Amino acid sequence: MGWGKRPGAAGCGRLTWSNDEWNAAAALCATQLPLVWLAWWLFVGAGQDDYGRGGGAFGVLCVPLILPLLGVVHSSAQIMPAASLSRLLPRRSGSEWARHLVASVLVGAGWAVLGHMVWGWSLRDTVPWFAGAGILPVLFLALLRRRAWGGWSVWLRSAGACFVLSVVGGLAVAALADEYEPPALSDGQLAGEWRGDQGTVLRLAPGGRAELTRVPAQPDFEADQDYTRCDGTGTWARDRYGDREAVLVRLDGGCGEDTHWTISGSGQDPELFALLGDPDAGDLLILAQD
């Protein structure tokens, strides 16, 4: 399965790759994804608010259904382009697998930079994950070149490993998960300006008055949209929505219905959120304090 072992295969001096190499890389990328998810949850997702949408730790058990496709995408976008790039590096810079590893980290970092330029992703958050996701597939790919794993055999082993890792990861998350606790905000902390997307401004004044600028609200019962945006004035009061503390906003006039904004975020960065529309697929709207 090594490069340049037969006519038409990708040789060490070529910028293309063999089907066996690409196939093995895709299977390895799929296999590591449950580990990537578990690592992300442990370092980033643990203790975060699910904003009432649920999901839970056992959502990872559904991941194996899409792992093969994600493995193909990851391999085609990072691992195999890095293989081509590694053949441009000087041989004296290291062994074949070391050059591939360096190139994979560079390609992953390049995708993070592209995400920063196009979508504004944080480089501090994305570069380690994008670059790190290309390490294990390259290392195991180097090991597989010494073995007779090819074709469907590598995918069968990958499927077994994915299933085990997904189950173990889901159980580990369920055992380690801490219940998210929203911040306890006083009336004084709730008072102020809360801003969202598309110019949304919700001003909560001490004493219970509210001013709204393009603030989403529950639509009238006859409306066919998930929410409507309202301008004007109204009142606000502390309330409970389900088992959570919330702010109930009542509007003066005829725009929209009463809307609960649930308290979320943290004590340092509080948020108000509302799920409007279908409870399972509605729009999640978040306001942050200015």
Tokens representing residue 21 in the block: 């190499």
pLDDT tens profile 157-207? 777 777 777 677 666 666 666 667 888 999 999 999 999 988 999 999 999
Tokens representing residue 85 in the block: 């790039």
- Do residues 219 and 257 touch, judged by C-beta distance below 8 A? yes
- Do residues 249 and 262 touch, judged by C-beta distance below 8 A? no
| Helix (H) or strand (E) segment spanning residue 272 | strand 270-276
Structure confidence at residue 2 (pLDDT) = 42
Structure confidence at residue 192 (pLDDT) = 94
User: pLDDT averaged over the chain?
Assistant: 80
Burial-class residue 61 by CB neighbours within 10 Å (0-12, 13-18, 19+): middle
pLDDT tens profile 44-58? 665 667 676 655 444
**The pLDDT of residue 8 is above 50:** no
Rounded CA separation 227/221 (Å): 10
- Do residues 102 and 86 touch, judged by C-beta distance below 8 A? yes
Q: Left, alpha or beta for 54 (phi > 0: left; psi -120 to 50: alpha)?
A: left
Highest mean pLDDT out of 6-20, 162-176, 257-271: 257-271
Q: Which amino acid is located at 201 in the chain?
A: V
Q: Left, alpha or beta for 109 (phi > 0: left; psi -120 to 50: alpha)?
A: alpha
pLDDT tens profile 121-131? 889 989 999 99
Q: Left, alpha or beta for 282 (phi > 0: left; psi -120 to 50: alpha)?
A: beta
Query: What angle in degrees, to the nearest 10, is found between the helix axes of 67-74 and 19-40?
Result: 110
Query: What is the average per-residue pLDDT within 5-34?
Result: 69
What is the residue whose two structure tokens read 């000087």?
90
